Chains A and B, each alone.
Chain A
C-alpha cells in the first residue's frame, strides 16, 4: 500500500523533473548518481586499508588508501560526465499484434564527447548496452511484450552508466513518449455467410477467381500489401516496373467484415476480424469493415489494411487512448 503510494509520488516527481518528450538531453537536472554495491564493497576495502595504515603507522599505506579514495571521488565526475550531454530521441515503433514483442527504437546522439557503456531498458529485464562515439550516434531496439490491443505506452526508460570503474551508477528515468500500436491478436475462424464470403473462403484460389471476374479497372503501381497474384508480370518484363492489375468489385459482390454479424464477446470478434483483415489483404481480396460507429468502404491494399487494423486496435477504447498519434 505504502509502496504504491510511494511509487505514484515518485512518478509525479519524475514527471515534473523530467517531463515526457520525444527528445531528451541528459543534464544535471536529470541525472542521478549513487554508489553501486561494488562501490560499497570498495568503501569497505578502503576502510580496512585505512585501519592497516593507522595501526602500522605507515605513510605509504596512508598514501595508497588516500589515492584510492580520491580515485573513488573523481569517479563521481567521470561516471556523471559519461551520461551528461547524451541526447535520446524516440525512433519509430512499428505496430504489432497482441502477444508479440513491441519494438521501440531509441536513438542516442552524443554532443561532443564519447559515452561508453550506456545501458538502456526497463528493469528488471536486462538492459541493452551500447557505446556512443564522440560526435557519433547509435540506435538500440528495445522490446516490450504487447499484451493488449490499443496503444502500448512504454514506461519510463532507465538509462544508466557505470563506466569507468563500476563503483558508481549514474542513471536517469526518461519518458520519450514511446508508444506502439498493438493490434488485436489474430485468431482464425469462420466468417458467417451473411458476410458474403463463401464457406470455403479459407481457400485462396476461390478468392482470386472471384476477383478475376470483376471489372478490370486498370494498372497502378505496386504497393506493399498487394497480392503477388495481381502483379502485371508482362509489364514488369517490359521494364515498366511493378504494376498491379486493379479491379473494382461490383457492389453486390463487396465483401464486408461486419462486427455485428459475429458471435462471441467483443475481443473474440475483434480477433477474428483482425485475422480476416490480414488474410484478405494477403490474398488480394478487397473488403470493407463495419464496426459499430465505424465504416470503412471496401478497398484493397496496405493502406486499407493499416486503417482497418487501427480501427480494430482502438475500437471501444476510451477517447484519451485513441487520440494518441504515433
Chain B
C-alpha cells in the first residue's frame, strides 16, 4: 500500500526557516555574499508557496537553480573542490532544499543537512563564542524535528522549544562521557582544509615590509604555558624559520636546509612548555632554541626549526622541551657555505665596511661581531616602523644613509656584513617576547611580536644568536613593541578599537586578559583534546589505557548515566496513581477545611450525605460530586477525572474561603454543633 507523503505542518516550516537563518549566519563570514541573497530568494519562494501564491519549482527550474549555485561557487571560489567551495555548495544545497520542501521526508533531510552545516562551521571558527552560538541553531533544528511530529504540543512554539532545550540538557552528561572517553583516531584520509585567506603570520621569504605589515596585526599567533616559571621576556626568542638566501632585496629560505637533521647536544637546564598555535597555513611550529617535540609527523629541521609534515590549518597543541644552552653544530656542517652566500654585486659600501672590520679583527671573529653590535648601539640608529623608502642598494642605503628601520632591517644588514666578512650567518625569523597573562600564567604572542634576529657560526662554538635590534631599541626586547614606539603612535594604527591599544586602562586590560585566559583554557582543554592529550588524561585517571578497558569504562559510564536518567524520567517507585482517587482526595481536603472529615470506613455517599447536612448551602454540589465519583468508580462508568475536577471547582466556588491554618477551630465548632 502506497502511503501518501505527509505534508509539513506550518509550525515546522517556521522552525525550519528560523533554524536556517541561525545555521548560515556564522557561515556568512567566509562564504560569498550572494549566499545571503540566495537564502532570501529561497525563503521568500517557500513562504509564497505556503501562502499558495506560487507553486513549487519544476524539475527544470530546480536543475537550473542547482547549476546556477554551482556556477556561482565556481565563480567566487575558482573551483568546486576544496573545503571552501565544498561548504559553499553544501550551504547552497541546504538553502535550495527549502524551496522543494514538500514532505516530511524532505524536512527531515533538511534538518540533518542543517546539523551537518553547523558542524562545518566549526572548521572555520572553533572558538568558545562560536561553540556556544551553535547551540542556537541546533536547538532550532530540534524544535523543527519536534514540530514535524503530529501532536498537539508541536503546535505551540514555547513548549516545543522547552522540550528541545530539556532534551539537549539531558543529553549533555552522556555527551561529556563520550567526548572524554571515545578514542581519538588519526585522520582516516586526507581532507581539504579551510583556506584561511592565504597563510597568516610569517611567510617563506621576507622583505622588511612584510614584518612591518605583521606588526600592524593584533591577531593571535600562539600561546605558551610553562611547566616552571616563565623565563624573562628578553630570553623569549621564538624561532619559526631561517632565511639563508639573499638576492639583494629579499631574504628567503633554502629548501635543502629543511631536509637533513642537524647535529647538536643538549646542555644546561631545559625548559618544558606547551604551545597552542593558531592556524597559520604554514608547516613550521614555534619554539625556543633548541627544541624537541614528540608531536606526530613533526621533526627538527637542518636549521633547528620544528616542522610538521602538513601545514597547520587548525589550531594545534604541542609540547616542547628546549635546551637554551645547547651547543649546535660545533663540528661544523657541510652546509656552512650556504651561510656565506651573497649576491655577486650590489651594496659596495657594506662590503667595503665588512672588509675593514675583517682587517681590524683578523683572527677574532667574536670581536668582529661585538664591534658590529657596538656600532649599532654607538651610532645614531633609530627604531621605527615607518622607515624611509629603500633605494637600489638596500643594505647600503639603510646602514649609511637613513639609519632608520626595524628588526628586519637590522638583522638583514648584520647578516650581510657578517657574510661579507666571511663569518657564516643567517637571518632567523620568528617572534620575540609576548605578553604574560597573570590570570592563567602563560605567555600570549601576537603577530605584532614578529621579529627577526641573527645567528652566526664560530668554530668551536657552533651557532650563536645575536639581536642587533636590542642594541638600538632595548625596550622593544624588554617591554614590547608598544613601549618601544611611544612617540610614533604607529602601534596598531590601523585598528583603533583593538583592546590591545588600551592596555593602560586597568579594568579593560583585566577584562581582556581574563577573556583571553578563558579562550586559552578552551583551546587547550577542549579543542586540544586529541590523541596524545586524551591518552595523557586517561592515563592519569585509569592507569594503563588499553582500548578494551577504555571501551568497558565508556560503556559502564554510559549505562550508569542512562540508568540514572531513566530513573529520573520514569520514576518507577511512583505507583501509577488513580486520577479519580486523586480528585476524591482533593474533595476530602476541601471539606476538611470546612471542618467536615470523613470517618474511617465511611463510604463516599454516606460521607457526602453527612457533609451535605453540615453544609446545607452547598449540599447540591457535594452530592453531585459524590454521586459522580461513586458512579465512575463503582458502577463501571467511564472514568472522567476532568468532569470530577469541574464539579469540584464548582463546589469550591460555593464554599466560603477558609485558610488551611484555621481549619482546626472550625472543625471543633462544627463537631460541637
Question: Which residues does A use to contact B, with CB under 8 Å?
Answer: 25, 38, 41-42, 45, 48-49, 51-71, 73-75, 77-78, 81, 84-85, 89, 91, 107, 109-112, 114, 116-117, 119, 124, 129, 131, 135-137, 162-166
Given contacts A64-B134, A77-B566, contact A38 B108 (CB under 8 A): yes
Chain A's closest residue to B194 (CB) is A56
> Pick the contact of B151 from A53, A89, A131 — CB < 8 Å?
A131
A74 CA to B566 CA in the complex, in Å?
8
Query: Which residues of chain B come closer than 8 Å to A63, judged between CB atoms?
Result: 131, 175, 179, 526
Mark out the residues of chain B between 527 and 549 whose CB falls within 8 Å of any chain A CB in the assembled complex: 527-530
Query: Which residues of chain B come closer than 8 Å to A56, judged between CB atoms?
Result: 123, 187, 191, 193, 314
Query: Which residues of chain B come closer than 8 Å to A62, judged between CB atoms?
Result: 179, 182, 184
Query: Which residues of chain B come closer than 8 Å to A137, judged between CB atoms?
Result: 638-642
Q: Determine whether the beta carbon of B122 is less than 8 Å from that of A67.
A: no
Residue B189 at the A interface, CB < 8 A? Answer: yes
Chain A's closest residue to B146 (CB) is A164
Q: Determine whether the beta carbon of B134 is less than 8 Å from that of A70.
A: no
Given contacts A117-B149, A124-B1, A129-B150, contact A57 B175 (CB under 8 A): no
Q: Determine whether the beta carbon of A116 is less than 8 Å from that of B565.
A: no
Q: Determine whether the beta carbon of B150 is less than 8 Å from that of A58.
A: no
A97 CA to B184 CA in the complex, in Å?
68
Query: Which residues of chain A come closer than 8 Å to B149, judged between CB atoms?
Result: 116-117, 162-166
Of the candidates B115, B163, B190, the one having the most CB atoms from chain A within 10 angstroms of its own CB is: B115
Q: Determine whether the beta carbon of B570 is less than 8 Å from that of A45.
A: no
Tell me the minimal C-beta distance from B463 to chain A in angstroms.
35
Tell me the minimal C-beta distance from B450 to chain A in angstroms.
27
Query: Which residues of chain A come closer than 8 Å to B142, judged between CB atoms?
Result: 71, 165
Residue B582 at the A interface, CB < 8 A? Answer: yes
Contact indicator per residue, chain B 129-148, by CB within 8 Å of chain A (1) or not (0):
01100100010001001101
> Pick the contact of B116 from A45, A89, A91, A110 — CB < 8 Å?
A45
Interface size class of B (residues with CB under 8 A): 35 or more
Q: Determine whether the beta carbon of A165 is less than 8 Å from that of B145.
A: yes
A135 CA to B191 CA in the complex, in Å?
55
Question: Which residues does B use to contact A, with CB under 8 Å?
Answer: 1, 108-109, 112, 115-116, 118-120, 122-123, 126, 130-131, 134, 138, 142, 145-146, 148-154, 163, 167-168, 170-175, 178-179, 182, 184-191, 193, 314, 526-530, 558, 562, 565-566, 569-570, 574, 576-579, 582, 638-642
> Pick the contact of B187 from A57, A61, A109, A165 — CB < 8 Å?
A57
> Pick the contact of A112 from B163, B167, B173, B577 — CB < 8 Å?
B577
Known: A59-B526, A59-B527, A64-B119. 18 other contacts (CB 8 A): A45-B116, A49-B115, A52-B116, A55-B187, A58-B527, A59-B529, A60-B126, A68-B171, A69-B175, A111-B577, A111-B578, A112-B577, A116-B154, A117-B153, A124-B1, A137-B640, A162-B149, A164-B149
Chain B's closest residue to A25 (CB) is B576
Chain B's closest residue to A162 (CB) is B149
Q: Determine whether the beta carbon of B314 is less than 8 Å from that of A41.
A: no
Q: Determine whether the beta carbon of A136 is less than 8 Å from that of B641.
A: yes
Q: Determine whether the beta carbon of B178 is less than 8 Å from that of A69.
A: yes
Of the candidates A51, A73, A116, A164, the one having the most CB atoms from chain B within 10 angstroms of its own CB is: A164
Given contacts A129-B150, A162-B149, A166-B148, contact A135 B187 (CB under 8 A): no
Query: Which residues of chain B come closer than 8 Å to A53, judged between CB atoms?
Result: 119
A116 CA to B151 CA in the complex, in Å?
6
Q: Determine whether the beta carbon of B146 is less than 8 Å from that of A55.
A: no
Tell me the minimal C-beta distance from B600 to chain A in angstroms.
27
Q: Determine whether the beta carbon of B569 is less than 8 Å from that of A77.
A: yes
Query: Which residues of chain B come closer than 8 Å to A135, judged between CB atoms?
Result: 579, 582, 641-642
A62 CA to B314 CA in the complex, in Å?
15
Tell me the minimal C-beta distance from A119 to chain B in angstroms.
8
Query: Which residues of chain B come closer than 8 Å to A57, judged between CB atoms?
Result: 184, 186-187, 314, 530
